[in-house]
Structure formats: C-alpha cells, structure tokens
Amino acid sequence: MAAMHLEDNVVNRQLRPDEPKYKLWHSAGLMLTYWCSSRCACCYVFSGPEAGHGETEMSIDFAAECWRELSRLAGPRAKIHLTGGEPFGDFDRLEQILQRGCEENPGTLEKIETNAYWCDGENSTRDILGRLKAAGLTKLQISTDIYHQEYVPMERVRLCARLAEEILGRENVQIRWQDFFADPVLVGQISEADKRKAFQDTLQKRGERLLGRAAVELAGLFPLRPYRDFAEINCAKNMIASQHVHIDGGGHVFPGTCIGIIISNLLVPKRLRLDELWRNFDYRQHRIMARLAEAGPCGLLDEAIKRGYRPLPGYAGKCHLCFDIRRFLYQTGDYGNELGPGICYGHMENN
C-alpha cells in the first residue's frame, strides 16, 4: 500500500520547510450510526434510541470505500475503528462492514467500540463475538463508566468482557475504564441530587470533552469561567495536527474528536474520495477551522456576536465555549457546509 506524503497536500506545498504542516490522516473512526440504546450524559453528540434510521446511517459500500481510501492515504499506518452511536444496533451491517474492510485492507482494523447493551445472554453473546472474530475482529473496546451504567446493566458489561477475553484473548479487550469496571458506582436508583454529586466526583477524577449532550448536561457541574479566560488558547493541534478524522454515514468528515465541525462531505454534492479530500484540503479556507487554529474558540466570538450570540456568564472549558458558539452559528443556517449535522447540536431531523 503506497501512502501519500505531507507535500502532497495543497497547503503543505506552499509552506516554508520550518512551518508546521497539515498532518496526514492515518486513523479514522467510522460512525456507522447515531442510534444508541442509551442516552449517556457524557455523549459528545446527541445519540439515543430516537436517533439514526436516516441519512446519517452508514451503508456497507460507503464504509468499505472510506476504509479503502484511508488505506490509500496512509498506507501501512492506516487504522480504522468502528463506532457510533452504538454500532451493534444493526449487527448484520456491522458484520458485513467488518468482513469487507478486513478482507480488503488486512491489518488495518484498530477496534470496534460498544457499550455491551446487547450482551443479554451467554449463548447469544458468544455467538455474536464468534461471528465477529471470524469476520476479522481483533480488538473490542467496552465502554463502562458512571454515565453508561445509568442505562446498561453492569452484568452485561461483565458478560461481554468475560466472553470477549475468552474468544479474542485478554490483551485484545480494552475496558474503558478499568478502575470503574473493578469498582462501579451505579446511579440508576438514586436521587437527582446524589447523582449530580456522583457525576461531580467522577469529573474531578477524569474530565470529559464537553461537546454535544455532555456540554448540556455536565458543564454545570464544573466551576465556570468567563470566556476571556480562554482568550490565549488556540486549537492548532486539533485542527491541523490531529492525524485523525471521524466520518459519519452522511459523508461528513470531522477533525479528530471535534465532532460537528465538517471538514467536507464525501457524498454531497458529489462523491469525493477521502484521499483526494486530504490532498486538496486547505484548512485556511475553512471559516471555522481557520479561526479555531489561529485563535481557538474565542476566535469565533466576533462573528457569533455580530449575528446575535450572547456569551454565557461562564464556561466549563474551551470545548464547552466552542460547542456553545458553534451551536449558535449552526442555528443561524449560515454555516451549513462547515457545521453539522443537526444531531451534533441537538437537532434530530434527518438523523
């Protein structure tokens, strides 16, 4: 597999040798769906049982093409993970995508991520894991934390972990997070006030990226700071150097984990190959990414205020500030090619 080189990108060709280059994407998360069995407070989009089933569901062919195009772009460094939402919601599709991707691009699968909601019986779980192993699964990541366990019984996570370790090998099962798995804190039956306190204790130990539902539900549990406190921060690392993208079924390509910022769309208005997108992408022409790379989320404020945005009294962090401004700008309708789709900002239509 031949990979592209940094100088193949249109911006990099124009830069002096000492200037930072737009990094090559070698890892991609394919978001097969926005549907999820749960509605976790930590979700960085607005996944849930009502989401999905629309234009943002990823087809088998499109997933296989993206997988191939990443391999063309990154060569032997290419790594794909399959995620959602919750990718086990449509198991046949997941299995077929996995099989095609692994057959056509050997050695490029990083992992599949799941919340283990589907592990409701020993035989069925064993059967599903066995089928995935036969299709090429090498590593499974199981999400387990205070937020996921509001919805998914802990026994399902334990069953999934035990059988996955047996079938795939212990070293091929990633439990995220191991400390919670060993000593879970369950908030399903407790009062709202106690739940809030438990979330707060958890957030002190481990922060969350406050985008999507997490920005809405968790930001208020942090000490809030005025936007001026974030004025010196830029996001050049996330916008230029992340080497990682997420792609959803609607064709939207997002930089790293900054979901909701659309680099471009691979399907609309016409099919665009991922490797060609990277080759021709000039982040300096992208109204959102250029400002974020240069001046961080405060760089978006002038445009937002001009359109009627009123800053909040405080923000929990730079990503909370970024999300709040972006959500406002998305709602103006003036950034349709650069911000979206709606489900990243709490709008459920067509998702």
State the Rg of the chain over Cα: 20
Examine residue 156 and tell whether it contacts ligand SF4 (CB under 6 A). no
Number of other residues whose CB lies within 10 A of the CB of residue 347: 15
Among 32, 253, 319, 343, binds ligand SF4 (CB under 6 A): 319
- 8 Å CB contact between 112 and 140: yes
Q: How far is the CB of 243 from ligand SF4 (least distance, A)?
A: 14
Name which of 72 and 246 has its Cβ closer to ligand SF4: 246
Name which of 30 and 322 has its Cβ closer to ligand SF4: 322
Name which of 111 and 244 has its Cβ closer to ligand SF4: 244
DSSP-assigned letters across all residues of 73-101: HHGGG-EEEEESS-GGGGHHHHHHHHHHH
Instruction: Say how many residues touch ligand SF4, by CB under 6 A.
Output: 9
Name which of 60 and 290 has its Cβ closer to ligand SF4: 290
Distance CA 149, CA 324 (A): 27
Q: What token pair was written down for 297?
A: 């989320």
Name which of 24 and 292 has its Cβ closer to ligand SF4: 292
Q: How far is the CB of 300 from ligand SF4 (least distance, A)?
A: 9
Distance CA 244, CA 23 (A): 9
Distance CA 247, CA 112 (A): 15
194 alpha carbon, distance to own chain's centre = 29
Distance CA 322, CA 219 (A): 12
Residue type, position 44, single letter: Y
- 8 Å CB contact between 14 and 284: no
Strand pairing report for 140-143 and 252-255: unpaired
Residue 17, Cβ density class (10 Å: 0-12 exposed, 13-18 middle, ≥19 buried) = exposed
Name which of 32 and 319 has its Cβ closer to ligand SF4: 319
Name which of 1 and 233 has its Cβ closer to ligand SF4: 233
Distance CA 266, CA 253 (A): 7
Q: How far is the CB of 12 from ligand SF4 (least distance, A)?
A: 21
Examine residue 322 and tell whether it contacts ligand SF4 (CB under 6 A). yes
Examine residue 297 and tell whether it contacts ligand SF4 (CB under 6 A). yes
Distance CA 26, CA 245 (A): 8
Q: How far is the CB of 236 from ligand SF4 (least distance, A)?
A: 9
Name which of 35 and 323 has its Cβ closer to ligand SF4: 323
Q: How far is the CB of 14 from ligand SF4 (least distance, A)?
A: 23
Rounded to 10 deg, the angle between the 91-104 and 122-135 helix axes is: 30
Examine residue 215 and tell whether it contacts ligand SF4 (CB under 6 A). no
Among 292, 304, 343, 344, binds ligand SF4 (CB under 6 A): 292
- What's the first-to-final CA gap in the chain, in angstroms? 35
Examine residue 316 and tell whether it contacts ligand SF4 (CB under 6 A). no
Contact range with ligand SF4 by CB under 6 A, out of 53-61, 90-98, 113-121, 314-322: 314-322
Token look-up 């709602």 returns 331
Q: How far is the CB of 138 from ligand SF4 (least distance, A)?
A: 29
Map the footprint of ligand SF4 across residues 221-280, applying CB under 6 A: 235, 238, 258
Q: How far is the CB of 290 from ligand SF4 (least distance, A)?
A: 12
Q: What token pair was written down for 4?
A: 């592209």
Contact range with ligand SF4 by CB under 6 A, out of 151-159, 216-224, 301-309, 318-326: 318-326
- 8 Å CB contact between 136 and 111: no
For ligand SF4, the binding residues (CB under 6 A) are 211, 235, 238, 258, 292, 297, 318-319, 322
